[in-house]
Amino acid sequence: MSTTAKLEEASMSDVESRTRLCEEFASIAGTDSAVAQCYLSENDWEMERALNSFFEADLESVFEVKDSQEQKSPERKKQKMDQNVPQQCIDLTEDSPSSSKHEEENDNKLSVITWNVDGLDTDSLAERARGLCSYLVLYTPDVVFLQELIPPYVQYLKKRAVSYLIVEGGEEGYFTGMMLKRSRIKLLEKSIVPYPTTQMGRNLLVVQVTFKEHKLCLMTSHLESCKGHAEERMKQLRLVMQKTTDAPDDVTVVFGGDTNLRDTEVAKVGLPSNVCDVWEQTGKREHCRYTWDTKSNTNKNAPYISRCRFDRIYFRPASKEGVPRLHPDHMALIGLEKLDCGRFTSDHWGIYCCFVWS
């Protein structure tokens, strides 16, 4: 075969390969071949990069449209003019007038939410993000641990939840994050600890803060998913527990996240004697057990029933003499109500937990 013929054959092979990539992209993204070719060519024909670029651009557009509609709504303008009318559209660009009073009443309490917000599910994502903001207004948590964030979701929260400082555990794909109430939590230091053998790009986000005069180490993570990755998940739990026990004795440690853990896995690893599981510590109430419940949560339309306690909060109090001790007071599941779009805020229930000082 001549050199010219070989080049023509290679060229035809490239065309066929790129045509298949365009067809696959169009099928996944629900778009046409022209759009597929545009995104693929801009991303060196790498499917994952091209899809990430497409979905991020699409979601930014969705959030911008939703915000624009919300701001232009005559009903919304009337609500802003009439302070006596209860607002149905939550706007977190301003602190609630009752925030300072609420903070005074809860001066010695630390409130925490942890929630896998399922940012990878693009269905009704703008409505579900606003649903999360509604819960922030309702509970006014001091700390929020979030998992499965994506960049447009974070940008939306930064624009809407201005009373919170957002600390990100990543920049691309999906990742974890924390929201710290600016008026009550002071950020000192942030670090991201990689899991050495993760196959899913998971890590541990560690943040050092002060709450009033108290020192806190806050941690969140999304441990390895799926039943077949139990060994890796247990390795990651061991690392989390090591970081927990290594913290200075004048520091209180709170970890919250989507652990994907099964009780048998926790039993194999074992918790340090000074670390407690908040659900267990607050009475093992059955109605607060399952955070992943396909029987009640229909977001995934799963053809099977699965009920698991994937989302957990672990806690280690400060032990130094003279340092006030924090202990869990109560916890509850949140996000149990369907939004107007007919879906829940996430396919996971969130956990709300309140700690008190003694």
Which residues are marked as active site? 258
CA pair distance 159, 194, nearest whole angstrom: 29
Here the tokens at position 29 are 């993204």
Place of tokens 């207004």: 137
For residue 261, the number of C-alpha atoms closer than 13 Å in the C-beta half-sphere is: 27
CA pair distance 257, 204, nearest whole angstrom: 10
CA pair distance 335, 350, nearest whole angstrom: 6
Could you tell me how far CA 345 lies from the centroid of its own chain? 11
For residue 258, the number of C-alpha atoms closer than 13 Å in the C-beta half-sphere is: 24
For residues 301, 307, 311 and 312, what is the CA-based torsion angle, rounded to 10 degrees?
A: 170
CB neighbour class for 36 (10 Å; exposed up to 12, middle 13-18, buried from 19): buried
Q: What distances in angstroms separate CA 199 from CA 196, 212, 225, 241, 260, one per listed residue?
A: 9, 39, 10, 20, 15
CA pair distance 48, 52, nearest whole angstrom: 6
How many Å is the maximal CA-CA distance in the chain? 85
